[in-house]
Amino acid sequence: MPKTILVTGAGRGLGRTLAERCSARGDAVIAHARSESALEGVPCERRLIADLAQPETIEDAVSELGLEHLDALVHNAGVAHIGPVAEQRLEWWRESMAVNVVAVAELTRVLLPALRASGGHVVFVNSGAGLSAGPGWSSYAAGKHALKALADALRGEERGAGVRVTSLYPSHFTTDMQRSVREAFDSEYDLDRATSVESIAQTVVETLNTPSDMVVNEMRIEPPNPLPIRPRP
Ligand SMILES: NC(=O)c1ccc[n+]([C@@H]2O[C@H](COP(=O)([O-])OP(=O)(O)OC[C@H]3O[C@@H](n4cnc5c(N)ncnc54)[C@H](OP(=O)(O)O)[C@@H]3O)[C@@H](O)[C@H]2O)c1
């Protein structure tokens, strides 16, 4: 059955692929990006423009949509600043926490009435870095660990209201983010050993398709034969 689905970070990467897939199957997609131009060519019914690095702007932007019902909210947008703690700049920490955590909490808060009204589903695109942190990952992993906490608390709070919450923990898949992470680590990258962005988008769609009498709370995803991220010898 067609759903109304809000996808954050829909201008490129996983968010764009997901918006395309959902629109193709007849869903009413509300595509989010920080600029109108980022959404050029993205199939959608409506747009939400907000810079997630400024979470205080979200409530006004969302209220302009006048949404009373929302079937699914996919928190996909994210940023990653890779480097040792000794080199992590203050603005990287601020941006990582704002985009990957605070904006996600704020967007969830303002959309909860519409989600409750539909018995909606909130999907958090987390990361393997949300479960363990290695060298170089501090600001990204800290944000994703906090995102796990946000999702786990929300799941317990909203189950009585019929809102389902899923956290996905992918290892790595083929987008700009993975390319730039590999560059930052000076690591080899083999597309054939990464999960495709299409496969991750399909998994999100299938998660949204699960029968309403069950919920996938968490899913860990990795390629069958992953190429570890580590500096070239
Ligand atoms: N790719 C991987 O290997 C991998 C692995 C595990 C988890 N993930 C997670 O998967 C999700 C999608 O990542 P991706 O690989 O598709 O990354 P991507 O290609 O780098 O895309 C990131 C998206 O987030 C948006 N975004 C970043 N900062 C924003 C801001 N301040 N305001 C609004 N939007 C903003 C970007 O918009 P702009 O175009 O405006 O920058 C873009 O649409 C992220 O949460 C990421 O952490 C990715």
Mean pLDDT per block of 10 residues along the chain (233 residues) reads: 94 98 98 98 98 98 97 98 98 98 99 98 98 97 98 98 98 95 94 96 97 96 94 83
β-pair type (121-125, 164-170): parallel
**How many Å lie between the centroid of ligand 1 and the Cα of residue 79?**
5
| CA dihedral (34, 163, 26, 60) positive or negative | negative
**CA atoms of 207 and 217, how far apart (whole Å):** 10
| CA dihedral (14, 193, 140, 94) positive or negative | negative
**How many Å lie between the centroid of ligand 1 and the Cα of residue 20?**
16
**CA atoms of 170 and 200, how far apart (whole Å):** 8
Q: Running DSSP on this structure, what letter comes out for residue 100?
A: I
Helices (H) then strands (E): counts for the chain: 7, 7
Considering the four listed CATH numbers 3.40.190.10, 3.90.580.10, 3.40.50.720, 3.40.50.2000, the one that applies to the domain covering 4-214 is 3.40.50.720
Q: Judge whether 59 and 34 are in contact, CB under 8 Å.
A: no
Cβ of 170 less than 6 Å from ligand 1: yes
176 CA: nearest ligand 1 atom: 19
Cβ of 14 less than 6 Å from ligand 1: yes
The predicted pLDDT at position 52 comes to: 98
Residue nearest to atom 24 of ligand 1 (CA): 77
User: Per the structure block, which two tokens stand in for 39?
Assistant: 């959404």
6 CB neighbour count, 10 Å cutoff: 30
**How many Å lie between the centroid of ligand 1 and the Cα of residue 212?**
28
Distance from the first to the final alpha carbon of the chain: 51
200 CB neighbour count, 10 Å cutoff: 23
**CA atoms of 139 and 130, how far apart (whole Å):** 11
The predicted pLDDT at position 6 comes to: 98
Q: 186 — alpha (psi -120 to 50), left (phi > 0) or beta?
A: left
Q: Judge whether 179 and 189 are in contact, CB under 8 Å.
A: yes
The predicted pLDDT at position 230 comes to: 87
* 6, 7, 8, 14, best to mutate for ligand 1 pocket (most atoms within 8 Å of CB): 14
